[in-house]
């Protein structure tokens, strides 16, 4: 299983950061790497919410269907996806640090099909790129959160 993790401090209260990270309707406007998000289930975001996300990666657009498999308001959420014989799992945890929030991200990719297992060594080469993509996404949301906080001061 390939795994990437990192943390980012955001100068904004935890509840506001969590809301920002789970606002599917505005995600493509706030994260440069995301070209579109479409919610596939009705109701508020929570466990079982499914959505499709379109990104441009390596010069091509790719759309994946994802699902929230865990959702603890203001604390954490997990999004999972199966694609091309691999199971992907992204866990976001939100830790309050005074008036700030530490966002801790863990991304895991587990090959499940024979072909994916055979190609798994190539996946290790992509971990650096994957980490950069996640970090850019979090950086984009950090800028939105901190700009919003500054606007309210």
Query: Which tens digit of pLDDT belongs to each residue from 83-117?
Result: 988 999 999 999 999 999 999 999 998 888 777 66
The parent domain of residue 113 ranges over 2-152
What lies within 8 Å, CB to CB, of 91 at 6+ separation is 70, 76, 77, 78, 105, 106, 107
CATH number at residue 140: 3.30.530.20
pTM score of the predicted model: 0.90
Q: How many domains does the chain have?
A: 1
Q: Return the percent helix, strand and coil in the chain, to nearest 5.
A: 35, 45, 20
- Percent of the chain whose pLDDT exceeds 90: 70
Alpha helices in 31-113 (DSSP H): none
- Percent of the chain whose pLDDT exceeds 70: 91
User: For residue 140, what pLDDT is reported?
Assistant: 97
Confidence of residue 60 (pLDDT cuts 50, 70, 90): confident
């Amino acid at each position: 299983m390939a795994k990437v993790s990192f943390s980012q401090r955001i100068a904004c209260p935890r509840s506001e950061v969590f809301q920002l990270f789970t606002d599917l309707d505005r995600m493509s406007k706030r994260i440069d790497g995301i070209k579109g998000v479409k919610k596939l289930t009705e109701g508020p975001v929570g466990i079982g919410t499914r959505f499709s996300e379109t990104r441009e990666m390596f010069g091509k657009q790719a759309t994946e269907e994802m699902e929230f498999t865990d959702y603890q308001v203001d604390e954490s959420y997990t999004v999972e996806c199966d694609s091309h014989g691999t199971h992907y799992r992204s866990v976001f945890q939100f830790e309050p640090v005074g008036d700030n929030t530490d966002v801790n991200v863990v991304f895991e990719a587990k090959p499940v099909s024979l072909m994916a297992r055979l190609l798994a060594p190539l996946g290790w080469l992509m971990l650096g790129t994957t980490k950069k993509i996640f970090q850019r996404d979090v950086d984009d949301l950090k800028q939105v959160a901190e700009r919003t906080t500054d606007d309210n001061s």
